[in-house]
């Protein structure tokens, strides 16, 4: 749910990942918009746009793009990720947990590149390690090297590559996810609280370079060259 992603609690089985992803996303968009508050941001695969209320005041226009299945989106696309937007349209493209769900990651990135202005930036977050979660489909996971390769193959220049949750924390997250759905409902919040607390503690074992190499989630900023 939208509120859970923007303001998760420790009883949420995704608390640590949601909290870290939200903070990193908002931090990077704030950096990218600090010199100009009139930029056009295209949320490409917007879902329920959990961060819109925070990000929209930072830009001149916020456009949600998604499948026809999503009535919240202002611009609709098919599963091929093709928009009817003009070339060099957006100053910023936000891709928040979308890349693992698209039919063709290369096709999706090509369309993002096309609608992005030269010199514009794309913020991408997607998974390294994670459980299967179709919305409506779920196809892809990446190593850090593989993710860099597919982004750069479409012409982007990566300026920031940041991993969330190192191997120990990722392992605990997957362990939690393997048990959580089998528990009776009244035990789920308590189990999530215990596991998310351990995930916080065990993530401290990993250095940031280790998270960047072996993360559960990656947050990348990439530019379309001038």
Give the pLDDT confidence score for residue 1 in this predicted structure.
39
DSSP of 25-61: HHHHHHHHHTT-TT-EEEEET-TT-TTHHHHGGGSSE
Asked if 123 and 162 touch (Cβ cutoff 8 Å), the reply is no
Per-residue pLDDT tens for 96-113?
Answer: 999 999 999 999 999 999
**Residue 2 pLDDT greater than 50, yes or no:** no
Per-residue pLDDT tens for 122-160?
Answer: 999 999 999 999 989 999 999 999 999 999 999 999 999
Neighbouring CB atoms inside 10 A of 3's CB total 9
Per-residue pLDDT tens for 174-208?
Answer: 999 999 999 999 999 999 999 999 999 999 999 99
Give the pLDDT confidence score for residue 65 in this predicted structure.
98
**Residue 119 pLDDT greater than 90, yes or no:** yes
In angstroms, how far is CA 136 from the centroid of its own chain? 16
Measuring CA to CA, which residue among 135, 46, 126, 140 is closest to residue 90?
46
For 50-115, strand residue ranges (E) read 61-67, 75-77, 90-96
Measure Cα distances from 27 to 20, 55, 121 in Å: 10, 10, 14
Q: Is the bond preceding 136 in cis, omega lying within 30 degrees of 0?
A: yes
Give the pLDDT confidence score for residue 4 in this predicted structure.
82
Measure Cα distances from 112 to 43, 116, 159, 224 in Å: 10, 6, 17, 10
**Residue 3 pLDDT greater than 60, yes or no:** no
What the chain holds in terms of domains, given with CATH numbers, is 2-166+207-223 (3.40.50.150)
3-class SS at 147? helix
Structure tokens at 26: 């908002």
Give the pLDDT confidence score for residue 158 in this predicted structure.
98
**Cα–Cα distance, 107 to 222 (Å, whole number):** 16
Measuring CA to CA, which residue among 226, 224, 215, 27 is closest to residue 110?
224
């Amino acid at each position: 749910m939208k509120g859970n992603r923007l303001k998760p609690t420790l009883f949420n089985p995704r608390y640590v990942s949601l909290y870290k992803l939200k903070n990193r996303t908002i931090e990077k968009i704030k950096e990218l918009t600090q010199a100009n508050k009139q930029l056009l941001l295209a949320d490409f695969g917007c879902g329920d746009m959990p961060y819109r209320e925070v990000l929209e005041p930072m830009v001149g226009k916020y456009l949600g793009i998604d499948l026809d299945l999503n009535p919240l989106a202002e611009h609709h696309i098919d599963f091929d990720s093709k928009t009817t937007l003009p070339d060099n349209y957006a100053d910023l493209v936000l891709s928040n947990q979308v890349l693992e769900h698209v039919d063709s990651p290369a096709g999706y990135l090509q369309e993002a590149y096309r609608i992005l202005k030269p010199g514009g930036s794309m913020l991408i977050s997607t998974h390294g390690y994670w459980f299967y979660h179709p919305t409506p489909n779920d196809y892809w996971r990446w190593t850090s090297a593989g993710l860099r390769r597919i982004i750069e193959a479409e012409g982007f220049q990566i300026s920031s590559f940041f991993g969330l949750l190192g191997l120990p924390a990722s392992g605990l997250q997957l362990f939690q996810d393997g048990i959580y759905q089998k528990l009776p409902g009244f035990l789920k919040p308590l189990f999530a609280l215990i596991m998310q607390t351990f995930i916080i503690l065990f993530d401290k074992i990993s250095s940031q370079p280790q998270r960047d190499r072996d993360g559960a989630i990656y947050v990348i900023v990439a530019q379309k060259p001038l």
